[in-house]
Amino acid sequence: MPYRKRAVAIGMLAAAYWMLLFMLTHVSISAPEPVEGMDKAAHAGAYAVLAMLLCAAASTLWPFGPRVAAGVICLIAAYGAIDELTQSLTRDRTPDAWDWFADVIGAAAGTAVLAVARAWYRGRRQQSREAPAAAPRE
């Protein structure tokens, strides 16, 4: 896929996922009490995916590095705080500082996973470029 189309596709996927997260966190749900800790794990997982998508989208515009990673984590931390506060406007939803903390931990973990995956992939590509051509058999 050409670079420009890939950049647009990644950006649209990140935006669609972010909108889905917003909708899911602002829908009134009367569900049974979740298993202890599963709510926080769900928050961390959802925001880890968001962080990976935002980092991938941002890296189509800027080189991926500590500044992009920190920017994505800060953006998600701010959004997570706003998300938690606005949940008080929805019936059956309450803001929770621990949910926000799980959001930020998830964002940091997702960013770290993406950074490690990118470094591993680049290392593999570099090795394949440097590998000597197979010697002809006699």
Q: What is the pLDDT of residues 58-86, one digit of tens each?
A: 999 899 999 999 999 999 999 999 999 99
Better pLDDT: 123 or 113: 113
Q: How far apart are the first and last CA of the chain?
A: 41
Contacts 24+ apart (CB under 8 A), 8-13: 10/53, 10/56, 10/57, 10/60, 11/57, 11/60, 13/53, 13/57
Better pLDDT: 47 or 34: 47
Do 71 and 58 meet the contact criterion of CB atoms below 8 Å apart?
Answer: yes
Confidence band for 24, pLDDT divided at 50, 70 and 90: confident
Q: Give the integer Cα–Cα distance in Å for 125 and 111.
A: 21
The residue type at 54: L
Confidence band for 1, pLDDT divided at 50, 70 and 90: low
Burial of 30 (0-12, 13-18, 19+ CB in 10 A): exposed
Mean pLDDT of 2-19: 91
Q: Give the integer Cα–Cα distance in Å for 37 and 45.
A: 12
pTM of the model: 0.82
